[in-house]
Structure 1
């Protein structure tokens, strides 16, 4: 039934964890540290960092391209993108050669321009491989920024400290009882918490 619902809609979704800003940022891994240590000049070190960063961007690009080519029947692809403690939902329309960035906070687009560059590159490669695109076969996606998003008046969504504490308590209780506890509805029996070393967490009294 859930599978039928998934295929019924015209939208495909990118995994936010796979496209988050941290996924395509430079990472100082142990391997990179070794290469930097062996480098003799600043130019060599800069080149190592550049190549490492390029590899991270490529990994994200490869994932997005895979989704776009696998879901060619979808009219829209939603990309929930997180950066600098903020989230935006980028709506990609490959068949129309467009993408829309709804952002009620109106963040400066320079703060997520690297990801936009990744999307442009992926779209260009998708067109080259026969992915969905307009008949005139342009290879540059039109990105629309500052798309109007209605905001909720602050007076309608104001929470006092008691409300916030209550929400946090309910959320913590749900995580403890239903996700972390072995008898919880959403406990992952094949995950990290199922390991013996985490038994003190997974077998914590559920009523606590």
Structure 2
């Protein structure tokens, strides 16, 4: 089959203006809970888009760790490519691709770095091996072989065997202060439902977009 010939109908349901809450976070949290209840693989996975100094876009999948009225939170090595790009340009986009539910959520905004207390609180909650893994990888740097990572992991695991793993100075996180949130629900005959929330004063303007 040619790729251009592959298609399917989206028939799981629609999204209507009368059913939308005033605040996009309410609908996002409902959809996230439904994605978790549906037992989707990695429901918190989101595509994070950044731009480098040449205007070249980059995307990668990162796990969402918290959300509230202040924004969407994720953690990373602060020496990583995405962190370096966000230091130069704090504009960011997030995409939650819940294909099984025929849904997408697209978020745009700007990032701010999390406080040391917020980072420490989350780091302390991670499994010990994950804490050690943060020490091992200088994310996005070039390495010659996987064996180097594995050897470093064993070395660090032995080093911290009898005590707590300290927070690496190069590890932190970002909060995405969102300006727009778009909800996409698949529809029959390609008549998908799309609604865009955009900040307007202290509230939100809501517009239906053509599919």
- Per the normalisation by structure 1, the TM-score is 0.23
Higher strand share: 2
Larger radius of gyration: 1
Higher helix share: 1
- Per the normalisation by structure 2, the TM-score is 0.23
